[in-house]
Structure 1
Amino acid sequence: MKFTLKSKWLKRLLYTIALGFSALALFWFSVYIGLWGTLPSEEHIKDIKHAEASLLLDAENELLGKYFIFDRQIVTYEDLPKHLVDALVATEDSRFYDHNGVDYTSLLRVFFKSILMHDNSSGGGSTISQQLVKNIYGREHHGWFTMPVNKVKEMILAKRFENLYSKQDIIVLYLNTVPFSENVFGIESASQRFFSAKTKNLSLAQSATLVGTLKAPHGYNPRLFPERSQLRRDVVLQQMEKHDYIDNALKKETSDTSLETEYRKFSHIDGVAPYFREKIRLEVKGLLDSLNATNKTSYDLYKDGLKIHTTLDITMQRYAENAMQQHMKIVQKQFENAYGKNAPWLKNKTLITNKIKSLPLYKTLQRQKWSDKAIMDSLNVTSKFTGFSWEDDAVLEGSIIDSMIHNLKFLNTGFVAVDPQTGAIKAYVGGIDFEHFKYDHVSVSKRQVGSTFKPIVYTTALEYGIDPCAYYPVKEITYTNQKNWTPTNGGNQETDRYLNYSLEKALSESVNTIAVKVLEDVGIDAVISQARKMGITSVLPEVPSLALGTAEMSMLELIGAYTSFANEGYVSKPFYITKIADKFGTIIYERATTETLPEAFSKETRQLMVEMMKSTINTGTARRIRTQYGLQNDLAGKTGTTQNNKDGWFVGVSPKLVMLSWVGNDDHRIGFSNTTIGQGANSALPTVALFLKQMNADQKFNTITKAKFEMPSEEVLNALACAAEKRDGFLKRMFKKDQKEREFDTVSEDDKKKKKRGLFGFLKKKEKDNK
């Protein structure tokens, strides 16, 4: 009887086991044939494509930033340090080199220890190959069957991967796809993020730290939880010792070091050159749209791992950002202190009201037929907001209107540096802080350029044959046919009605009254024509105030014109992208050599203008670059200040680099309270000076900072050999009519043709007079 019962229970047991195996086999088969979702074929696995971050590179192939949906960069096996691979295998899959995708020994261990004995120390049963499948294809939801279906899928596909790829290939695929902390995908992006290093340069400690985070990417984030991450790193080192990848001495030496990160986040608002990166993003999207339409391609900036090569120099960019931040902190304090309690953003009710009504939310509520009172009540609701500060961003409490007023007080800025021989942009600072002020002041904003336009007027004069030693009276004139307009000179400039300046003195001291008189002599049309030759395309007002820079243009346009003074009279149009390659290195776009513009002015005019603008630096309005900052670079330049001190400008011209800085408030109605603070020499020049000081201290840039302008010709030197100023003599004062009013002379085309004899005209005249 007992035997019969035993036989009965044995049969039931065997039947149950057989049924279980049959069910498992059937379940496995159902997954295999795709009843739970089609499995990728071998052909698909051979042609795996990963979304890959596009890289933005500087002129020396240094990484400036990335464009991505998932932050991923691809590396090869040769880029992987041996200790990184060893750490991964020791920690995640110690039998990696012994199995073919599925480690049945580990699976049995997990089954008995974890499931039957409830021992959580047994670890997981997934191999690196199985984890790779999960990284690439993710996991689908199937209700109660989610886990078993996905596990079987991963086992089937892991074997396919092992059949198609070598162990090295699988390691590379895994490390290029595995997710790390903070939405970072792949070992290269993680190395850059947490240690500012390329994968191939990772130390043993760094490799162990990153491998350690794979167990729980957020929980072991080395930035957020350094102590916890260090403990996990040491566990990885113990595993490496256990499996004979390192000895005890190396394990102990590495474990005794404290965890040190060098965090570098590539985001659209942080990091180096954010305004430049946004400019390139918009530019490249347009280029790709055009390429895709023309070539029937489908390049995607955020997924295709493109390499975008630019002209920027990352070191110069950092110097520019440092200089901007150092100076803007100071000038912002001057700006606020000068206004005190009477600041327009506090007291000017009309300004504040108009600003409120321009808010997007105000306009939205207005379109929804809200009353003015209801709108204002809504905008006055108090909440917390992050406000920009030159110290540290602070969490402030206030309404939307309070936030608006807070931002309204800040001065903004732009800085750009260009190689004048090529037009390549080397540094680009579009504003004070991209997170809070996204408006780009280098290429988008257009402001009145003030006295930085005067060199174009004087270039026109020299081209039209006016002697650089021609003297013009400083005194003010009222132009009765220009609504009684009276140009005045700023600051402490002379108003002596008997004093006369040469062109060089007038330019170096930025004398408004003389600039208008020179414009009158050559004619507005002639000056506009000369501006066009120098690459200016913006609308130029055909009025006498053009001489004082009432024209509005972008910084890129203005600096392009100034490149001609350091480039033999030829304009170099600023540019920033050199080429774009796909992830395989194939060039898909390369900047075409642009057609060279005709010579904008003669060699002699260029030499004269450089010498005259050198005087601006040495003795004129920009002399603080010598006296305050002690810079001895060979420099020419020009300061600029617009009406009511709304804009401050400075252009620095060296033989190998042209630099332009602007400072002002984004709201045109708010200017500096006085010229002492608002003049370009105080508001804009220091950024260029501080930038150059850093470059001077860096031997890498000696070819730029120690470059010299060529010696002017003897004729040019002779043309400038005159006293800078002179006063009318007694007899001239007695018999000369003291003209205080006149009509502005609009020179006709015929008169201009008669007047124009060119620079060689007055040089030959001088030579004849000397004989």
Structure 2
Amino acid sequence: MATKKQTTTVQDFSKYIRWFWMVFLGGILALLLLFMLASWGAFGEMPDHTVLENPKTNLATEIISSDGKTLGKFYFNDNRTPVGYDDLSPFLVDALIATEDARFKKHSGIDARGTLRAVFKLGSGGGASTISQQLAKQLFHGEGSENIIERILQKAKEWIIAIRLERQYTKEEIIAQYFNIYDFGNNGDGIRSASSIYFDKEPIDLDIKEAAMLVGMFKNSSLYNPRRNPEGVKNRRDVVLYQMEKYDFINETIKDSLQKTDLDLNYTPQSHRDGIATYFRGYLDGFMKKWIKDNPKLDGTKWNLYNDGLKIYTTIDSRMQKYAEDAVQQHMPRLQAEFFVQNTPKRNPTAPFLDLEQSEINDLLNRSMKQSERWRHMKYDLKKSDKEIKDSFNKPSQMSVFAWKDGKASEIDTIMKPIDSMRYYKSFLRTGMMSMDPQTGHVKAWVGGINYRHFQYDMVKQGKRQIGSTFKPFVYTAAIDQLHLSPCDKFPDTPFCIEAGKFGNPEEWCPKNAGGSYGGQRTLKNALANSVNTITARLIDKVGPQTVVDLATKLGIESEMLPVPSIALGTPDISVYEMVGAYSSFANQGVYTKPVMVTNIEDKNGTILYQFKPETRDVISEETAYVTVKLMEGVTQTGSGVRLRGKGADSYRADYREIVTGYPYEFTNPIAGKTGTTQNQSDGWFMGMVPNLVTGVWVGGEERATHFASITYGQGAAMALPIWGLYMKSCYADEELNISKEDFVAPGNLSINIDCSEEANTATDNDSEKDTPDDLDF
């Protein structure tokens, strides 16, 4: 028989049991209530089915080349371009699962075992968040709060969203989203940007150690930043490799060998001012803003260039673009070095300007000052007076300025007055270059300057400069078209004048030949090859300036051209873009095709929003176009472009040969072209054509007063032609591009004689056909 004490003890113990079950069941009910309230949105809005299906993330607009490469992106804060699971390296997936969620494929969003482990070990045994939970956190509620109650509520929401994500998406889709959403630092938003920035690779091409490094950054990309903390990143990468070996994704031998290696970064920053085709991307920014203005969404709202994830498919070929940029980077430092030698303060007290008085230089700098961004910012944003602004231009400040160093573009940290920096930048020679397929109109390469970060004014389409003798083929074309002239027809090379009043000319116009040499007869082919001014003047006298202007307009020249006789020598200011389009008509059998830069625009789902329509028109006959091409072939056979053939280099001074003629071009295929040099050598041009590629190059200073003192280095054949030659050498070396080496296609009904082999192709003893550094090519 139980004693009273024993009975009391049993009753007390049963009380504890009741309390235990009450607390336990109450806890479960409270937990269920917590999740129910969270799912109903009691603790804040929860994503519904539609939002889960289309989570809101900012997606960069991607610019894609014709050969499928990413040229760049438009974005504000998020440089994100999503990829699918199949575009991920399997090493990325293995590294992620091994490091972040080893049981990922076995749970449905919540890992009960991991959660219990975290609870009983108070977090010392690792976190309990699954990949799905971490994705939920990044997609919908961000970083956790410091407040314990808020953290519990956020965790409840995170669990519910994770379960819903698991129901909404496959495991593969969740992994892809997780890689796409993460910010890896240095504008590396998402795995595609990160793999490109840190290794210059697509995600599918990452190897084991590269994948391990990027997955290691998931712990904290700010702390584990490979540029600021390479040692810490390497240690973290090695931890990921250890985890991969632990879960049998790699063996111990591979782990040990990879842990001994460096990070081997190939840092390739992605910004609006860095990377490939920067000037083209600058043009494209304006193109897209106009397109967005004219093409709203179906609901009437506007597309966002920086957040809507558009895809812009362009005609630019990434390989040809690189060859064009490399050609500029090879030639311009050499040319600039010689310019600096000739324009030292000792040799030229007004350097970098020539032919200007000090008062004119002061006026020039004052105009530039008022046109600068610094002036605009201080006057309109800071509301400073003109005197305060001018004073600021004369106060030394710390800055980084552009410089050619060891033949490469670089920056120098210095202290300089802003007014002096303006003068310094005006001492640099600039360039503009565009290359285009004449049949399709597709622009293949676009280089608007020497360095976009420091010289943002685009000299392909935005800038226009006097074109000199590159205009002469238009005069010859008009004469061939109207008078049915042959390249073999001869004209006297003697002084010639067009009287005052003719063609509305106010004064008598008497152009002079370069070097003042005249005499004898010249064929048209010889005259164009040697850029003889008097014969060009005779031709425009026969056809009239208005005829030439009308022809040039039909060929795509939109710039203003006054119908006066002097236009024959290239007085108008015209862009490289216009000139390439016009010359392409000659290579395209007389048909003008408007240059095309964008072929398609798609939204993030692949829906086509824009598709270009070719714009073409017949301008001249096939025969006239072909005869003009044969005339321009003479420029590279015997004229100012003969150095493309690799001839005559031994006759040059060593320094000149090194800078402008020492490149081993040695082209043997048919090339039609024309050099151009304007008054005082302010502008150097070369237009070069083969049957399926037309390329134009301009070189000059920002100000026309910035130029070489003599024609030796200042002619188009020395300033611009070498860039064309270097570019074409690279294009021909890349056989996949299929750049033509064939003859230009002749029309079937050719009636004009183009074979001048039996004609005397030289004029007199004064003929300047020999290609020497002192040739003048106006």
TM band (smaller chain): 0.7 to 0.9
1:2-17 map, 5 Å = none
Distance 1:545 1:357, change over 3 A: same
Matched residue, 2:426: 408
Corresponding residue to 1:359 among 342, 358, 372 = 372
Consecutive unaligned residues of structure 1, counting only runs of 5 or more, are: 729-771
**Residue number among 721, 724, 741 corresponding to 1:706 in the alignment:** 741
Structure 1 consecutive aligned stretches of length 4 or more whose deviation exceeds 6 Å: 1-9, 15-23, 140-143, 366-371
Which of 612, 637, 648 aligns to 1:618? It is 637
Question: Residue 60 of structure 2: which of 38, 53, 58 is its match?
Answer: 53
Amino acid at match of 2:62: L
Say which of 465, 468, 490 aligns to 1:470: 490
Matched, 1:724 2:761: yes
2:569 is the counterpart of 1:548: yes
Provide Cα deviations, 1:31-61, integer angstroms capped at 9, x if missing partner. Answer: 3432321111234323435332332221121
Q: Quick one: structure 1 residues 504 and 661, their matched pair in 2 at CA, closer, same or farther if it must change by over 3 Å? A: same
> CA RMSD for the aligned pairs?
3.1
Q: What is the distance in 1 between the residues matched to 2:535 and 2:551?
A: 19
Mapping of 1:585-734 within 5 angstroms? 585-594=606-615, 596-598=616-618, 600-626=619-645, 627=647, 628=661, 629-701=665-737, 703-710=738-745, 715-718=752-755, 721-726=758-763
Report if the CA contact (8 A) 1:135-1:179 is conserved: no
Q: 1:95 to 1:489 in 2, by over 3 A?
A: same
Q: How far has the Cα of 1:480 moved from its partner?
A: 5.0
Distance, in Å, in 2 between the alignment partners of 1:471 and 1:708 is 28
Contact 2:394 2:419 in 1 (8 A): yes
Distance 1:202 1:369 in 2: 52
Correspondent of 2:543 among 504, 522, 525: 522
Is the 1:646–1:672 Cα contact (8 Å) retained in structure 2?
yes
User: TM-score with structure 2 length normalisation?
Assistant: 0.85
- Aligned residue identity for 1:616: V
AA matched with 1:664: G
Structure 2 residue aligned with 1:137: 140
State how far apart, in whole Å, the 2-side matches of 1:718 and 1:164 are: 75
Closer, same or farther in 2 for the Cα pair 1:721/1:527, shift >3 Å?
farther
User: Matched residues in 2 for 1:255 and 1:560: separation?
Assistant: 55
Q: Specify which of 197, 201, 225 is matched with residue 205 of structure 2.
A: 201
- Residues 142 and 149 in structure 1, CA contact (< 8 A), matched pair in contact too: no
Does residue 104 of structure 1 match 2:107?
no
Q: Which moved more, 1:226-235 or 1:104-113?
A: 104-113
Q: Residue 445 of structure 1 aligns with which residue?
A: 463
Matches of 1:487 and 1:684, distance apart in 2: 28
- Show the counterpart of 2:91: 83
Deviation at 1:24, TM superposition (A): 5.8
What is the identity, as a one-letter code, of the residue corresponding to 1:34? G
Does the 8 Å CA contact 2:467/2:678 hold for their aligned counterparts? yes
Q: What letter matches 1:336 in structure 2? A: F
Please report how far the alpha carbon of residue 487 of structure 1 lies from its aligned counterpart in structure 2 after TM superposition.
4.6
Give the letter aligned to residue 59 of structure 1.
S
Cα distance change, pair 369–515 in 1 and its aligned pair in 2 (3 A): same
SS of the residue corresponding to residue 390 of structure 1 reads: strand
Q: Report if the CA contact (8 A) 1:182-1:218 is conserved.
A: no
Would the aligned equivalents of 2:594 and 2:614 in 1 still touch at CA under 8 Å? no
CA drift at 1:300: 3.2
Distance 1:697 1:26 in 2: 71
- 1:342-390 deviation digits (Å, cap 9, x = unpaired): 2444763333333334434446666899666543322222221110112
Given that 2:118 and 2:128 are in contact with CA atoms closer than 8 Å, whether structure 1 keeps it comes out as yes
Per the alignment, residue 553 of structure 2 pairs with 532
Closer/same/farther in 2, CA of residues 707 and 174 from structure 1, 3 Å limit: same
1:495 lines up with 2:517 in the alignment: yes
| Aligned 8 A contact 2:496 2:537 in 1 | no
Question: In the superposition, relative to structure 1, how do residues 364 and 166 fare at CA in structure 2: closer, same or farther (>3 Å)?
Answer: closer
Partner of 1:271: 275
Question: Which position in structure 1 is the counterpart of 2:43?
Answer: 36
**Residue deviations 1:527-571 (CA, integer Å, cap 9, x gap):** 122223322232211211111111122211111111121111111
Cα–Cα, structure 1 residues 400 and 639, in superposed 2: closer, same or farther, change >3 Å?
same
Aligned partners of 2:145 and 2:755: how far apart in 1? Answer: 90
1:206-245 to 2 correspondences below 5 Å: 206-245=210-249
Conserved? CA contact 2:593–2:614, under 8 Å = no
Amino acid at match of 1:131: Q
CA contact (8 A) 2:321 2:445 kept: yes
2 CA distance for matches of 1:81 and 1:370?
A: 55
Pairing 1:190–2:208 present = no
Structure 1 stretch displaced more, 681-690 or 41-50: 41-50
1:113 match: 121
* CA offset digits 1:392-412 (Å, max 9, x no partner): 211111122122222121111
Aligned equivalents of 1:17 and 1:247: distance in 2? 45
> For residues 707-763 of structure 1, what are the alpha-carbon distances to aligned partners after superposition, in whole Å with 9 as ceiling and x for unaligned?
2224685842357753235469xxxxxxxxxxxxxxxxxxxxxxxxxxxxxxxxxxx
Checking the alignment, whether the CA contact within 8 Å between 1:413 and 1:431 is kept in structure 2 is yes
Give the structure 1 partner of residue 591 of structure 2: 570
Matched residue count: 718
* Alpha-carbon distance in structure 1 between the residues aligned to 2:113 and 2:569: 84
More off after superposition, 379-388 vs 215-224: 215-224
TM-score calculated relative to the size of structure 1: 0.86
Q: How many Å separate the matches in 1 of 2:668 and 2:258?
A: 49
Match of 1:417 among 402, 424, 435: 435
Q: Percent identity?
A: 38
